[in-house]
Structure 1
Amino acid sequence: MADSDEDFVLESSGDERGPKARGSRRQTRKSKKQDPTAAPRREKWEDIQRSWDNVVEGADGSIAGAVIGLLEATKRKRLLRDTTPIQRGIIRHLVLVLDLSSAMVEKDLRPTRFLLSLRYARDFVTEYFEQNPISQLSIVGMHDGLALRISDMGGNPADHLTALQEKAFSQEPKGASSLQNALEMARAELFHTPSHGTREVFLIFGALSSSDPADIHETINALVEDKIQVRIVGLAAQVAVCREMVMKTNGGDDSGYGVVLDEAHYRELMMAATTPPVTKTVSTSTPSLLMMGFPSRMVETFESFCSWSVLVHILS
């Protein structure tokens, strides 16, 4: 029986090649089979690198340590990605907008878009305040064509995590999403923020349409006037109005709009928003100093009583 199709063809066509060629072919096959020093040939499927081959279990038999190591490596890669010396904002005011419409019940992202977004939103809040300790955050949801205030503007991550657990997680995804209502509520949140900090809106959009009460382009122009930067992560496909919004609010740069490919890419896009945005310097603006709340020493020329000493005197 021949070892391969080629050998079978050679043996069946012996009249054409002659007995000499046929004998040398058989001798070569025999020498290959009898050579004990020849290295065995590896198949292509044996060289496949599997992601779980490098996972090392801990002392307790779990892979929690390996998972933490992978997350730390991703964080270091994100921090070292941009080595260009640029100026970034230190004090940030960001509104996180979550899509809670019926489009979030899809299971193309496991377990569902809704559950995965809430889990990544909790990770985003923790990472955001770790990277920006003196910044503030607010969370807004949109469902049934309305905007839902999940948490107010504040700098305590525990309040936002509690609000996500109590309000957002208890909401069942339903109805349609309204970009205009959510952006108007975000504008109201950022209206009283000081000018020395950044004004940002980070939107997680899972639908392909928006139910707006008026012209959304007027809202986009208002965002540009208020100097509010918008970043969007799409879960389904690219939407023209979202791309236009990102470009107009970021000076023509549409890199702040991304569409997820899988769960890992979704997390990468969300964690990228924890890095402060680049400060675009305007030639007409002049640098200004920010007054900090440190106390100053004052010496009085005459004796006086403080409120505490007056209270002690009254109680005595």
Structure 2
Amino acid sequence: MNNGDGKRLNGEAEEEDEDDLDGEGREAWERTYTDERSWESLQEDESGLLCPVDDKILHHAQYRRRLRSLSSTTTASRIQKGLIRYLYIVIDLSKAAAEMDFKPSRMAVVAKHVEAFVREFFDQNPLSQISLVTIKDGVAHCLTDLGGSPESHVKALMGKLESSGDSSLQNALDLVHGYLTQIPSYGHREVLILYSALSTCDPGDIMHTIQKCKNAKIRCSVIGLSAEIFICKHICQETGGLYSIALDESHFKELILEHAPPPPAIAEFAIASLIKMGFPQRAAENVISICVCHKEAKGGGYTCPRCKARVCELPAECRICGLTLVSSPHLARSYHHLFPIMPFEDVAPTQHKLPKTCFGCQQSLLSSGSRTTLSVTCPKCRRCFCFDCDIYIHESLHNCPGCESLRHSKSVNTAEA
């Protein structure tokens, strides 16, 4: 209440001041940092570096992922996986994406981890392609076309981070269905929906759209950022996808990275077939020509062996003759899903005398005067690795740096560090 001079009464001002303070006399902005108490989650290790206090949770999560990778390794001979994937990532940019339960907002967290997922996806699936679709104002927009360039997808996403309106699952599925039905039969059709809203505003019968996606063999998976929704769960059950709810940012990162390895192939698509591919040669940098992908004059690039058209990067599909253009390293890197590495064996400290340092990172295997139990040994060369190096080898699906000569350059640098 204001008086005639525009000043508040003293009693009302005192009440508002008391509301801004808690029982200990802290302001609202102070309580924000006090409740989180982020400084208590750090401590110093023996070398004086900062490390999380609850690092056991991180080790247990990594250990569970390693067990899942080992279980998939044992069943790899019975499960066929799709090496050529066509994935549409549907990102919800409705007004629900601006909620701040994920710091700083759901939209910022999704964009951050989608960038990491796109790079990890192409690292594990070099022959696959990704397209980004956004939902806002009840309409689905195709942000990027199917392609194998992570930089173009990330750049397009970071330039369109605006949330407004409602979301529509039916419009997104109709848009994706129209594109994926044109995919060749050997390609595996997938949709990953990152959903923030608690409802969907659809113009028609979404059940009919779900049935169309099921008949087209489109595998739809949903990661929710709010709460479980029946229609999202129904979509995943009908199409054979996965439905999960992210509890926090780290859990969301773990859930989205689980979609990077190729899933088991659908029975209708598991039939062996021959695919025509071209292996183009890289042109000289001083040779200027017009590329068919951007319609611009550029130097370098690759020349299609069939129609002699110029493309900027690989893998790609020639816009002139439709030939799939790849390089031999891309084809070789796809074999790690067909021939996974042998599972490492856990080493107990009492079995035999362990070396003093890890073969991969050269860090000491001694912990507070006793040998650490977080160590494994390669079943072929019997070299010992610490737990972190073993997680890196298994999650990156690289060969053992001790006994395999063919390995990724990243694992070589790690082994020689």
Asked whether the two chains share a fold, i.e. TM above 0.5, the reply is yes
Shift of 1:175: 0.7
1:180-232 per-residue CA deviation (whole Å, 9 max, x = no partner) reads: 11111111221221111100000001111100110001110110111100000
Partner AA of 1:225 in structure 2: N
1:276-302 per-residue CA deviation (whole Å, 9 max, x = no partner) reads: 1111325x975322233369xxxxxxx
- TM-aligned CA distance change 1:52 to 1:245, over 3 Å: same
Q: Which structure features the higher share of helix residues?
A: 1
> RMSD between aligned alpha carbons?
2.9
Q: Any conservation in 2 of the 1:178–1:212 contact (CA below 8 Å)? A: yes
Partner AA of 1:119 in structure 2: K
- TM-aligned CA distance change 1:175 to 1:294, over 3 Å: closer
Residue matched to 1:200: 190
**Is 1:263 the counterpart of 2:249 in the alignment?**
yes
User: Please, which of 232, 251, 256 is the counterpart of residue 242 of structure 1?
Assistant: 232
Task: Give TM-score, length-normalised by structure 1.
Answer: 0.66
Alignment of 1:121-270 (within 5 A): 121-167=114-160, 169=161, 171=162, 173-250=163-240, 256-270=242-256
SS at match of 1:269: helix
Shift of 1:264: 0.9
- For these two proteins, the number of residue pairs brought into alignment is 231
Q: Which structure features the higher share of strand residues?
A: 2
Separation of aligned partners in 2, 1:93 and 1:57: 46
- TM-aligned CA distance change 1:120 to 1:286, over 3 Å: closer
Task: Give TM-score, length-normalised by structure 2.
Answer: 0.51
- TM-aligned CA distance change 1:238 to 1:55, over 3 Å: farther
Q: Pick which of 73-82 and 156-165 moved more.
A: 73-82
Residue matched to 1:291: 276
Larger Rg: 1
Separation of aligned partners in 2, 1:125 and 1:186: 18
Partner AA of 1:287 in structure 2: A
Residue matched to 1:273: 259
Shift of 1:110: 1.3
Stretches of structure 1 lacking an aligned partner (at least 5 in a row): 1-49, 296-307, 309-316
Q: Any conservation in 2 of the 1:232–1:242 contact (CA below 8 Å)? A: yes
Residue matched to 1:302: none
Residue matched to 1:47: none
- TM-aligned CA distance change 1:99 to 1:57, over 3 Å: farther
Shift of 1:57: 7.5
Partner AA of 1:136 in structure 2: Q
Separation of aligned partners in 2, 1:93 and 1:56: 47
- TM-aligned CA distance change 1:215 to 1:177, over 3 Å: same
Stretches of structure 2 lacking an aligned partner (at least 5 in a row): 1-39, 281-307, 309-417
